[in-house]
Structure 1
Amino acid sequence: MSLRRLTRLTGRWALTVMATVAWLGAVGGLVLILATGTAAFSDPSPARMWVVWLLLVAACFLSLLADRSRPAGVLARHAAAAGWERTAPGKSEWPWPGPQSGGTIRVRRAWSFTAGGLPVTAGDVRWTGRAFGGATDDADGQGVVVVVHLRGRVPSMAYHVPFERIGDSPLLDRTELRKAFLTRRIPPWTVRERCLYTVEPANGSVTPALIDSAVRRALLIVRLLDLTSEAGTSEAGTSEVRTSEARTGEAGKGEILNGEVHAGEARINGVRPGTVRPKGPRAEGGADTAG
């Protein structure tokens, strides 16, 4: 077991213990309030009645405070304040393929908004049985899934753990992209059809800060791939072609790279610079799937 995974499991265990202690304290406080209230009603003196009213007010205040401090409540208020639009997970089309055999993926809550000039969907997700494969470090867990909807169609590709390169796009050769992945500035990521998605585990509950961080890291991947503008993902003049042309050198000199030269024009994998053949399976997925 890696040190990173051990640290994450220890953090989850500590949070579980603290939540249990807090729950036991709340139950003990409720028992104390009921016992004091029962004693007060058996002796209806003015002093005792004041104690009952104060205890009732305290109970209401603690209940309201507990509700506002719940992670779900904090996240809901943050989403409303930020203008995020609540999305029904079951009605959304998620870009990942079906989960690995024996695994399950369940998106509990999801929101849609615009970040970095691109449409983004972020959700609270749980998975089991290494359902995401190499898209995340953890076989089982919970965390944040971020889907960035790109403006154009790009080839399927990915960087998965431990260091698995998927696809043959020249974009995967970018030095800054590899460096960011190796130094963990960006998480494992996957591009399918018109979407780039990441899955980031959480030590405990999903918080607004965790979602904001996951979105920033996903958008950094988009920038490193040069897919932020519509011109960067269009059928003519994609960032992939620009990278390919840079690698081939001057086409007029007839330099060959994974292809052939005809009449002084370089062809890369049979594709003339300026055109890209879309590839990769059509994305299918759901909010709650099992292999």
Structure 2
Amino acid sequence: MSNLTFDVAAAIDRGRREYQEDAVTVDFSAESGVGYVVLADGMGGHAAGDIASEIVVTEMANSLRKHLSSGGIGEIPQLLKDSAEAANASIAEYVSKNRDTQGMGATLVAPVVQDGALYWVSVGDSPLYLFDGEELEQLNEDHSMAPQIDLMAKAGMIDAETARTHPDRNCLTSVLMGAQIPKIDCRKSPMSLAAGNILIVSSDGLQFLEHDTIKAIVAKHKSESSERLASALLDGLQQLDDPDQDNISFAVIKVS
């Protein structure tokens, strides 16, 4: 049994969009030493993207709530993968009964902590960050065109500004849409958490802030509560005043 404790807060905002397509749920139990976040970023427009994200979050959370406390830690990776595939199947079932929602889908990122060990499953481009006290690292894979475009810039094929503003940058290479899932990033062996670590689970709306800006905000507020850190990240986005600001959702998990 780990002696780590967790201070957790979540935030969600519509940004400059007409409707909210993100969904997030958080469940951390001090008694069991088990906790999880499930976050989904929907796509498909009003009455479709929001439904897709709710389906994914509800299906995942129900499965984790039911099975986590009873299963061993070695079973978590399979549980996460099975739960993601069940959520994908639920989208397929919904679309089959509601043909006007054809094409809806959602990203997924779901970290699980048990006895100080971190696992996750993710599909899409919603990032999972770890701040270790000094550096901010994205732990999960980015299932979008962004990594390939950045490699092109690194190789000198395009310049950095072209890469940053490339129109295909946010095109997803994997997503939950009810069809076969092209890529699933599922942590198979645990990452050990330590006191002072901060996890940020977010939709890509947070990435309207530059990576170094997110890092600077987290570093500045690392000694404060997760709620205060979440507020500071939202304040940073609001100060951008970007007319294209996407929906924003994230959870902050402070380890002590």
Task: Please report the TM-score for the alignment, with normalisation by the length of structure 2.
Answer: 0.22
Say which one has the larger Rg: 1
Higher relative contact order (Cα pairs below 8 Å, separated by 6+ residues): 2
Structure with bigger helix share is 1
Q: TM-score, normalised by structure 1?
A: 0.20
